[in-house]
Every structure is written in structure tokens, then in C-alpha cells.
Amino acid sequence: TRREPVSPEEWVLFFDEEGKLCVSVDHIRQLVFRGGLHADIRIEAWKFLLGIYPWDSTFNEREAMRRSRAEAYYNIKANWFDHPEIRNTKDFEDEKHRIDKDVHRTDRSQEAFVGEDLPNPDPLMAVGTNANLEIMKDILVTYNFHNTELGYVQGMSDLLAPLFVAMGDEAMAFWAFTAFMDRVQSNFFMDQSGMHGQLKTLDSLIHFMDPELYKRLEDTETSNLFFCFRWLLVWFKREFEWEDVIRLWEVLWTDHLSDKMILFIALAVIDAHRKTILEELNQFDEILKYINDLTGNIPLEPTLERAEVLFYQFERKVRAMQHKKAMLQEQLEI
């Protein structure tokens, strides 16, 4: 069952006078999974959920960590920010321009990103900018230097924006983003192996849970699930409303039932439209258009409830299969 978000009053009671946790981590994860977090505690709670702060730390230890993380961030940033000879190379300028373009397309209806009261430092950009957009760019360029193997890939600005707004601080937004990227970086591999792996797992999940629906997807040549690509790539960032995206992410970060819960969210969205897909949509184009038109019209709470039910159904089916297999082995050994 779903519940109200964890309130500031509840959150305070989770810690003793030294700031040490006095309830179990599992208890907190379960509460967040069931209802998410009140907006006022996200700035603190997300640091625990994302692993920036250890759950067993004290107030003083966390303050020391915050300072050292801030110092570490600005040291990484200095690798490019303090070196004009790097900033003036063609490679850097090309990468920076890609980041600039993406940031200027990201969540511009959100209050933090609306205005353009500053001239754009990128001579190739014909639009103005604002302080928050410039900080977003700096964070992504710094990440490019921090994770040189992966670098910057389109879609990362989508993941950073809510973290930056929640943290309200450049250094902490960077570390929150880095922690989130540690979870999802395979989504951004150049060979797309991470995304193909997830889509293949989702394909197997649908096949296992709903053979009839799977056959319809096969018959309409949509079983490659390409329409789910963006869902998984940026964690439904463009499918749900802003506030719902934030709630969805913090629920998924708990890993309460599974660290693959996002696949059950995808399954829940498809399952909610099962009847229409089976009875009304007969062509590849029809299914693609229908699914794409769901953007901005997916209700979060019913989706979370459905995903949880589907997860428990999955567990029961797996247990039943294992039981049958064990019985068969026993019979064969007689």
C-alpha cells in the first residue's frame, strides 16, 4: 500500500542527538519506497539514498564529508576551468558546445532554468543564458573530466537537472549526479550494450509474465521494445510530470524490492494498456504512436502500485517454477 511522503517531522526522529541513525536502513528504504519524501528533506535524504553519506555517519562526520566533497569537486573542475590552454582546444570547444546545446534544451519550463538574463559565453550560441544553466554546463564539463572513459553523452543533462534543483549547490549536485551515473552509466555506453541488455531483460520479462501480450508485440514487430528505449535511458524523465519524476526516482533509489524495479515500472505502463494493445492496435505504427502519446499522461501512483503487484506476481511464478523443477528432479531420482 502507498502512503504519504516521509515528513520532516518523521525524518528528524530517525536520528539521535549525534545524528546517528536509530532505526534500520531497511525501515527508511521501505517508507520512502511506499511514499517518497517531502520536498524539504530531499536535499538531505537523497545524499543517503545515493550513497554520498554513509547511513551510519554522525552530523559532524557528514559536515566534514560535505566540505571534503566540495573541495574535491572544485579540484576536478580546476583541471579545465583554470587552464585556458585546455579550454581553447578544438576538442574541448566541440564537447562544450554539445553540452551547451543540450542544457539549453533541458527543462526550460522549470523556474530555475527559465530566464536568459546573461549573455551566452559560447559564441556559437545565439541565445542568452542564466546562472543556473551555466552551473549545469560546468557540472557536466567537470563530469566529462572526472569520468574520461565515458565522457558526456546526450541525455545526461536530463538526469542532472532534478538533482541540481534539489541540491541547490554546484558541488553536491555534481556528486549526486556522479552517484546516479554510477548506477546507470551502462545506459550511455557508445555501443549501446547496456541499453540492449535492459531491453532484452524486459523482453524476457514480458514473455514470462504475459505470453499473450508478448505474441501481439511479436506479431506487430514491436517486440524489440524500441518504444521503451527512452523510458529506460533517462528513467522516464520525459514521460512523467516533473514532480512525479522526482518521486519515481527516489522510490527507485531505495532498491527496496529490487534494484531492477525500473523494468517493472516499464512493465506496469505496458500492462495498464494491455487491453487496448490486444484489442485495438494491429500495426507497428499504431502501437508506436499509442505508446509515444502516453508521454505526460502516465499517472504515477497507480503505476507504482501496479509495478509492485507485478513484482510479487513475478516472484510467485518463479517460486512455482522452482517448486515444479524440484519435484521433477525428485521423481527422476526415485
Q: CB-based contacts of 28: which residues, under 8 Å, 6+ apart?
A: 6, 14, 21, 48
Q: Residue 138's domain is classified under what CATH number?
A: 1.10.8.270
Q: Residue 207's domain is classified under what CATH number?
A: 1.10.472.80
- Span between the terminal Cα atoms of the chain, in Å: 45
Q: At what angle do helices 170-184 and 131-146 cross, to 10 degrees?
A: 50
Do 165 and 198 have their domain in common?
Answer: no
Residue 250 confidence (pLDDT): 98
Query: Could you identify the residue written with the cell 571534503?
Result: 68
Residue 334 confidence (pLDDT): 61
Do 226 and 281 have their domain in common?
Answer: yes
- Per run of 10 residues, the mean pLDDT along the chain (length 334 residues) is 93 97 97 97 97 97 97 97 93 92 93 87 81 96 94 95 95 98 95 95 96 94 90 95 96 97 98 95 92 94 97 95 86 76
* pTM of the predicted protein model: 0.92
The length of the chain, given as a count of residues: 334
The domain total for the chain is: 3
Do 319 and 197 have their domain in common?
Answer: yes
Do 157 and 241 have their domain in common?
Answer: no
Do 156 and 222 have their domain in common?
Answer: no
Do 141 and 245 have their domain in common?
Answer: no
User: Rg of the chain over CA atoms, in angstroms?
Assistant: 22
Do 172 and 78 have their domain in common?
Answer: yes
Neighbouring-strand partners of residue 21: 15
Residue 228 confidence (pLDDT): 93
Question: Which structural domain range is residue 31 located in?
Answer: 8-49
DSSP letter for 21, please.
B
Residue 327 confidence (pLDDT): 86
Task: HSE, CB side, 13 Å, CA atoms: give it for residue 137.
Answer: 25
Do 223 and 180 have their domain in common?
Answer: no
Do 172 and 65 have their domain in common?
Answer: yes
Residue 326 confidence (pLDDT): 87
Distance CA 59, CA 250 (A): 22
Residue 90 confidence (pLDDT): 93
